[in-house]
Amino acid sequence: MRPENAPVIRLEDYRPSPYLIDRVELDVRLHPTQTRVTATLALRPNPNGIGGDPLVLDGDELNLRAVSVDGHALSDRDYEASPQLLTLHRPPQRPFTLIIETEIDPTANTRLMGLYRSSGNYCTQCEADGFRRITYFLDRPDVLAVYTTRIEADRDEAPILLGNGNPVEGGAIEGTNRHYAVWHDPHPKPSYLFALVGGRLGKVGKSFTTMSGRKVDLAVYVEPGKESRADYALDALERSMRWDERVFGREYDLDVFNIVAVSDFNMGAMENKGLNIFNDKYVLASSETATDVDYANIEAIIAHEYFHNWSGNRVTCRDWFQLCLKEGLTVFRDQEFSSDERSRAVHRISEVKVLRSRQFSEDAGPLAHPVRPTQYREINNFYTATVYEKGAEIIRMLKTIIGEADFRRGMDLYFERYDGTAATVENFLGAFAEITGRDLSHFSRWYAQSGTPRVTIKSQYDAQAQTCTLSFKQETPQTPGQTEKEPMVIPVALGLVAEDGKPIDALCNRVDENGVFIFDGREDSLTFTNVTARPVPSLFRGFSAPVKVSFDLPDDDLLSLLRHDSDAFNRWQAAQSVAMRILVRLSKGEQVSETEFDRLALALRDFVESDGERDPAFAALVLSLPSESDIAQEIGSDINPDAIHAARLALRRRISKECAAPLQQLYRSLATPGAYSPNAASAGRRALRNAAVGVIADADPALGEMLAREQFETATNMTDQLASLGVLTTIPGQAREDALATFGSRYRDEPLVLDKWFALQAAIPEPETLERVKKLMHHSAFSLSNPNRVRALVGSFSMLNQSQFNRADGAGYDLLGDVVLRVDELNPQLSARLLTAFSAWRMMENTRQARAKNTLLRVREKPDLSRDASDIVQRTLD
Ligand code: B3K
Ligand code: ZN
């Protein structure tokens, strides 16, 4: 079947499974190329079904060895088998036992779905549809079974054997060099949560006592010798478990919780029941090899996967259309955790930066889809920023609208009522409707309608009457072929600030006690009374809704918000808005006056002087300008990435001229002597110091280079070392090449550090980078079969280097196209992910558009292009 003919799966076609599986016993005999899997399935017809249907089990590249029903081998007339399907024409219409034996080759499995090997160790990845690569099954999330797994392997090859649930028994198999372990998971679960691991692994562990006094053994398994790099992950796990008890009342439910780090993994991590499997990038950390950002990511992802134990595992999804039910909710939970552990304001700004750069762009391009999609060809292409990040924003808005107490009551009801079941978005919202007595049907549009709403605001102040009127309009851009977009329920957190910075105690009965106004029509207006001074409205505080805002506040007013607003998010936003105005005009070749430049640069200098020392992490964010892709997004069409790059550089230079002096001072005063600590306060100081070197280098490359070289030589942690190398890469010349060579050989045996080195070089915004990337693809540490390597080098080039990926001669597109075609043979999920870099192609000016289209067509023509890649190419071209 040509992939474009792959069937479209539609939400409206959902039907319960005609058969259910209550218990699964798996016997897995690990072997590098001939692993034997015997599945004993306790099946029965679904009482909600019509009855009499054939039993159709999913498979993928499977090799069937034997099949029997209730102990009787089946004859050819009873079933039909292919690598993709096992069909029993007339299964018993009563409970029965089906035994299936399959043989699989984990070494040949380069897709990293199902059972595969990573650095010689056996591991699995089953979400979304990898279990069917292990055995034939009803591989859908609404079939929940209790699993017992027996794993057998060579003792030498795999001394550690891990499964879901609790360990039951194990030991040597006499007279052989093999051993086995049996694991039992008492909690019914869908097949996508199945996992096993077998290999040589080192371990760190500790005991955890839950709030009701249950003892749990926690362990993190890593490559032997790297145990000390797992301490931070273990600590983050313990903190996550405590936090979920305190904030959501959720307790852990098994005797053990294991995490295993592997080096070949398609995404960040996987929440398999009691046995999380992680990309080692999100487990391993030491001050010498990991940056502050790595530490923060590890903390967030450890928490995310742990939180899935309730939001995803105990309550799972009825079908894959409901993916946001577990992902959006769990992202919201991990964001709240990180905010509590770190600085809430700083974290919120980081979240919004990610949302805008990834989700807003997705929502504005050819891959746009609702948070709950209504159709798909390849579900693995829907683990998107929209499902995850916009999904989390919906939960955040719900909490803002109904308030903290009702939010918690609703969550409790949801977990209690749907525990052990496969639920839907309707079930979720229903719990909150019941608790609050509210009708949430209008709010539920957030799940159904794609596109980012734009809210346009006008304000009018009447000094005599002491009133201020704010009028709101909302509009969501039309998607071709879809019905007209409806207005959304938008919570607007707002306040009025006087020019001197004092909050104005104005009155408006449509704003609740938390300062939130619910805007749910196409147009609306609010009048505040008792407005005793000229107000500057501060709107969408804390980014209270995932919308774009048009509000023509003069630069002076915005910069007054930067100085005075009580809402840190809006202080940051104010500086970003002024910078964006300038950047857009510069990019379009329009004039920007000296006064305008000076106004922003001086305001930033004042800000650095007043706030730099007090909140360095926040100050580092305020100093970072909107990214090149953010600027492209804002302009929207006829994009010339070179012009955007030049504009951003010009503004950076202007700002750095003003700020370099106070930043030099901060560079010295913020130095933290003593041992490295990954905590948020120390990380914040490093963030501002390192931003300072960059700014200084913009204003005075010679001085910047000197500082960066000195820091590169003397840094005692990876954060400072990498930051200085980053600054050096912005200054062409021998110093840069020497530093890159030193770093490359210093970390020759540290793949995760070399990834940073690949990524930095791929992001250098110079025409020579193309050749550099091609050359690095031949580096001995590079491999097309390792997703981390490919993402570091090729992913960074196409996603982070806007001017070079989008070269006018099309060579950047060609490079990506070539890599995609090669990677697709090995790992379709990875090739599909790489292809999403093309999703902004229609925004480009004509020459680039034509070149990008050529590459996309070339990729589409590949005869056996995977379904994953074909789905993305097709939707990108449509
Ligand atoms: N649930 C996994 C993602 C699985 C992706 C499958 N293509 C990780 C997470 O979101 O927690
Ligand atoms: Zn998740």
Q: What is the pLDDT of residues 362-385, one digit of tens each?
A: 999 999 999 999 999 999 999 999
Q: In this structure, what token pair is assigned to residue 512?
A: 């609740």
Q: Which atom of ligand 1 is nearest to the CA of 271?
A: 11
- CA 118 from chain centre, in angstroms, equals 23
E-strand ranges in 449-522 read: 454-462, 467-475, 490-493, 495-498, 516-519
Question: Residue 808: in which H helix or E strand, if any?
Answer: none
pLDDT per residue over 280-330, tens digit each? 999 999 999 999 999 999 999 999 999 999 999 999 999 999 999 999 999
CB of residue 128 inside a 6 A radius of ligand 1? yes
Cis peptide before 128 (omega within 30 of 0): yes
Strands (E), 105-144: 114-118, 121-125
Ligand 2 centroid to residue 300 C-alpha, Å: 11
| Whether pLDDT at 262 is above 80 | yes
Atom 8 (ligand 1) nearest CA: 270
**245: helix, coil or strand?**
helix
Is the C-beta atom of 383 inside 6 A of ligand 1? Answer: yes
Determine if ligand 1 sits within 6 Å of the CB of residue 193: no
Specify the amino acid at residue 180. Answer: Y
Ligand 1 atom 1: the closest Cα is on which residue?
Answer: 270
Least confident of 28-32, 237-241, 242-246, 697-701: 697-701
* Nearest CA residue ID for atom 2, ligand 1: 270
d(CA 512, CA 493): 9
Q: In what order do the strands lie in the sheet with 63-69?
A: 72-73, 63-69, 96-104, 35-45, 19-29, 145-154, 178-189, 166-172
d(CA 436, CA 409): 9
User: Residue 671, Cα to own-chain centre: how many angstroms?
Assistant: 32
Please give the backbone phi and psi of residue 320, each rounded to the nearest 5 degrees, phi first: -75, -15
As a whole number, the mean pLDDT across the chain is 97
Burial label, 713 (beta-carbon count in 10 A; 0-12, 13-18, 19+): exposed
Strands 79-81 and 535-538 turn out to be unpaired
Say how many Å lie between the CA of residue 149 and the centre of ligand 1.
22
Distance from CA of residue 800 to its chain's centroid?
Answer: 16
Cα 713 from Cα 726, distance rounded (Å): 13
Sheet holding 79-81, edge to edge: 55-58, 85-88, 79-81
Q: Atom 9, ligand 1: which residue's CA is nearest?
A: 270
497-543: pLDDT as tens digits:
998 999 999 999 999 999 999 999 999 999 999 999 999 999 999 99
- CATH of 454-545, picked from 3.40.50.2300, 2.60.40.1840, 3.90.1150.10, 3.40.50.11540, is 2.60.40.1840
Ligand 1 neighbour 773 (Cβ under 6 A) = no
Residue 389 Cβ contacting ligand 1 at under 6 Å: no
Q: Give 616-631 pLDDT, tens digit per residue.
A: 999 999 999 999 999 9
Q: How many CA atoms lie within 13 A of 712 on its CB side?
A: 25
Q: Which residue has the tokens 């499964």?
A: 163
The structure tokens 């607007």 sit at 492
If you take atom 7 of ligand 1, which residue's CA is the nearest one? 380
How much distance in Å is there from the Cα of 327 to the middle of ligand 1?
Answer: 8
C-alpha–C-alpha distance, residues 90 and 557, integer Å: 74
Cβ proximity of 432 and 403 under 8 Å? no
Is there an atom of ligand 1 within 6 Å of 195 CB? no
Report CA(127)–ligand 1 centroid distance (Å).
6
CATH 1.25.50.10 fits 550-699, yes or no: yes
58 lines ligand 1 (CB under 6 A): no
72 pLDDT above the threshold of 80: yes
Shortest-distance Cα residue to atom 5 of ligand 1: 127
Q: Which helix (H) or strand (E) holds 45?
A: strand 35-45
Ligand 1 centre to CA of 643 (Å) is: 37
Minimum-distance ligand 1 atom for the alpha carbon of 327: 10
> Is the beta carbon of 381 within 6 A of some atom in ligand 1?
no
pLDDT of 1 over the 60 cut: no
CA of 327 to the centre of ligand 2 (A): 5
Q: In the CATH scheme, what architecture does the domain 315-448 have?
A: Orthogonal Bundle (1.10)
Which H/E stretch holds residue 128? none
Residue 703 burial (10 A CB sphere; 0-12, 13-18, 19+): middle
Does the Cβ of 270 fall within 6 Å of ligand 1?
yes
- Give the pLDDT score at 49: 85
Average the pLDDT over 172-189 and give the result.
98
* Distance of CA 100 from the midpoint of ligand 1 (Å): 28
Select from 267, 304, 323, 836 the residue to mutate for testing ligand 1; criterion: most ligand atoms less than 8 Å from CB.
267
Is the distance from the beta carbon of residue 129 to the nearest atom of ligand 1 less than 6 Å? no
Q: Do 3-200 and 454-545 share a fold?
A: yes
What are the pLDDT digits (tens) for 717-764? 999 999 999 999 999 999 999 999 999 999 999 999 999 999 999 999
Supply the pLDDT for residue 480: 73
Reported as a single tens digit per residue, the pLDDT across 541-565 is 999 999 999 999 999 999 999 999 9
> Ligand 1, atom 10: nearest CA belongs to which residue?
327
The CA 270 to ligand 1 mean position distance, Å, reads 6
- Which of 265, 288, 289 has the alpha carbon at shortest distance from 278? 265
Judged by DSSP in three states, 475 sits in strand
| pLDDT confidence of residue 165 | 98
Q: Which atom of ligand 1 is nearest to the CA of 128?
A: 6
727 in contact with ligand 1, CB cutoff 6 A: no
Q: What's the sign of the alpha-carbon dihedral 701, 703, 708, 709?
A: positive
d(C-alpha 651, C-alpha 587), whole Å: 11
Determine if ligand 1 sits within 6 Å of the CB of residue 797.
no
203 strand-pairing partners: 221
Which two structure tokens, joined as six digits, stand for 588? 């379009």
Ligand whose nearest atom lies closest to the CA of 269? 1
Mutate to test the pocket of ligand 1, among 133, 193, 259, 327 (most ligand atoms within 8 A of CB): 327
323 Cα–ligand 1 center, Å: 10
Residue 428's H or E segment, with its range, is helix 425-436
Q: Is 327 in the pocket of ligand 1 (CB under 6 A)?
A: yes
- The residue-averaged pLDDT of 462-470 equals 98
User: For a pocket test of ligand 1, which of 112, 192, 270, 378 has the largest count of ligand atoms closer than 8 A to its C-beta?
Assistant: 270
Q: How confident is the model at residue 6 (pLDDT cuts 50, 70, 90)?
A: confident
Which residue, among 21, 28, 2, 259, has the nearest Cα to 137 in the 3D structure?
Answer: 21
* pLDDT at residue 782 greater than cutoff 80: yes
pLDDT for residue 802 is more than 90: yes
The finding on whether 628 has its CB within 6 A of some atom of ligand 1 is: no
| 386-424: burial string, b at 16+ Cβ within 10 Å, e else | bbbbbbbbbbbbbbbbbeeebbebbbeebbeebeeebbb
Report, as an integer, the average pLDDT of 216-235: 98
CATH number of 747-878: 1.25.50.10
What is the model's pLDDT at position 2?
A: 53
Kindly state the average pLDDT of the residues 343-372: 98
Buried b (16+ CB within 10 A) or exposed e, 353-379: bebbbbbbbbbbbbbbbbbbbeebbbb
Kindly compute the dihedral angle of the four CA atoms of residues 164, 165, 168, 169, in this order, to the nearest 10 degrees.
20
pLDDT band at 138 (very low <50, low <70, confident <90, very high): very high
Give tens-digit pLDDT for 197-210: 999 999 999 999 99
Which ligand is closest to the CA of 192, given by its number? 1
Q: For ligand 1, atom 4, which residue shows the shortest CA distance? A: 127
Task: Identify which ligand lies nearest to the alpha carbon of 127.
Answer: 1
Segments making up each domain of the chain, as ranges: 3-200, 315-448, 454-545, 550-699, 747-878
**331 CB under 6 A from ligand 1?**
no
Residue 646's pLDDT is 98
Contact indicator for 195, 237 with CB cutoff of 8 Å: no
Res 673 pLDDT > 90: no
Task: Assess whether pLDDT exceeds 90 at residue 5.
Answer: no
Residue 371 and residue 452: Cα distance in Å, rounded? 11
State the Rg of the chain over Cα. Answer: 28
9: helix, coil or strand? strand
Q: Mutate which of 316, 383, 836 to test ligand 1's pocket (most atoms within 8 Å of Cβ)?
A: 383
Tell whether the torsion through CA atoms of 267, 273, 277 and 283 is positive or negative.
Answer: positive
Per cent of the chain over pLDDT 90 is 97
* Rounded distance between C-alpha atoms, residue 41 and residue 26, angstroms: 9
CATH 3.30.70.890 fits 3-200, yes or no: no
User: Which residue has the CA at smallest separation from atom 3 of ligand 1?
Assistant: 270
Q: Which residues are catalytic?
A: 305
CA 13 to chain centre: 29
312 Cα nearest atom in ligand 1: 1
For ligand 1, whether the C-beta of 305 sits within 6 Å is: yes
3-state secondary structure of 863: coil
DSSP string, 258-296: EEEEES--SSSEE--TTEEEEEGGGT---TTT--HHHHH
Among 133, 271, 310, 382, residue to substitute to test ligand 1 (most atoms within 8 Å of Cβ):
271
User: Which residues lie across from 148 on neighbouring strands?
Assistant: 25, 184
Please report which confidence band the pLDDT of residue 479 belongs to, taking 50, 70 and 90 as the band edges: confident
Cβ atoms of 408 and 395 closer than 8 Å: no
Contact residues for 861 (Cβ-Cβ < 8 A; gap 6+)? none
